Amino acid sequence: MQAAQARGERQGTILWHEILPNVRDTLAVQGAMQWSWILLGVSSLSFLGLGVAPPASDWGLMIADGRGVMQSAPWAVLWPMVMLSSLIVGVNLAADAFAKALGVGRMGLGT
């Protein structure tokens, strides 16, 4: 970066050609890992009644609605929980594979 500044390059050019290539893979993996937290957060808010409106379908809302009939129809709660858990685990596994393909470890580059 100092060499680019010494050559007289502009800040945008330095950012685009010097910094972005070094952090691109790490940012992509971090974004993929955040998807599981986003899914969990949206479902949690919907479960608490703070997420999507009731006519819309959301797994957190389905779990909240199924709590009243758990004694007679436990699958009304079980299947949305299994599907949400499977999706979150699948997203994490896909993000790990993405990180491995890019050579980025969870603790930093190259680990």
Q: What is the mean pLDDT of the chain?
A: 82
Question: Is residue 102 in a domain?
Answer: yes
What average pLDDT does the segment 40-68 reach? 86
pLDDT at 85: 92
Number of domains within the chain: 1
Domain limits for position 99: 25-109
Q: How far apart are CA 68 and CA 109, in angstroms?
A: 48
pLDDT digits (tens, 9 = 90+) for 10-19: 777 777 777 7
What average pLDDT does the segment 46-67 reach? 85
**Cβ-defined contacts of 57-62 (< 8 Å, 24+):** 59/83, 59/84, 60/84
Higher pLDDT pick, 108 / 12: 12
Question: Is residue 6 in a domain?
Answer: no
Question: Is residue 1 in a domain?
Answer: no
Token pair of 75, please? 């699958």
